[in-house]
Amino acid sequence: EAQVTQNPRYLITVTGKKLTVTCSQNMNHEYMSWYRQDPGLGLRQIYYSMNVEVTDKGDVPEGYKVSRKEKRNFPLILESPSPNQTSLYFCASSLTGQAQETQYFGPGTRLLVL
């Protein structure tokens, strides 16, 4: 089944404790992206990647890192999480990132930073 998976689905952590949210897709997609969803703000892009070893900042990249060492994986790293990073996070992918392509979203990761 074609899908985007994220782990963990729920995470409670404390300020400053490094964490990684994994994202994997099995559709051989070149384009992958991370969004965060906050009430009243919709979804905002954090980082995106056009292909292996090619990443770039989105609208809200501060406090986040990403890497793209393999085509299928695009982990989101919070080196020193803070309470303002409490949010719902989505990974998404599409074939090449063109506007007309359907973006496939993962199931979401709910993060609480205490």
List residues binding another protein (CB under 8 A): 31, 33, 35, 40-45, 48, 50, 56, 58-59, 88, 90, 92, 97-100, 102-103, 105, 107-108, 110
What letter does residue 73 receive in the DSSP assignment? B
**Residue closer to another protein (CB basis): 72 or 110:** 110
Q: Which residues pair with 21 in a beta bridge?
A: 76
Q: Which is nearer to another protein, 69 or 98 (CB)?
A: 98
For residue 94, count other CB atoms closer than 10 A to its CB: 19
Q: What angle do CA 33, 9, 110 make, to 5 degrees?
A: 75
Please, what is the minimum distance in Å from the beta carbon of residue 7 to another protein? 15
Shortest reach from residue 40's CB to another protein, in Å? 6
- Comparing C-alpha atoms, which of 13, 6, 5, 7 is closest to residue 81? 13
State in angstroms the smallest separation of the CB of 111 from another protein: 13
Q: Rank residues 43 and 52 by Cβ distance to another protein and give the closer one.
A: 43
Beta bridge partners of 99: none
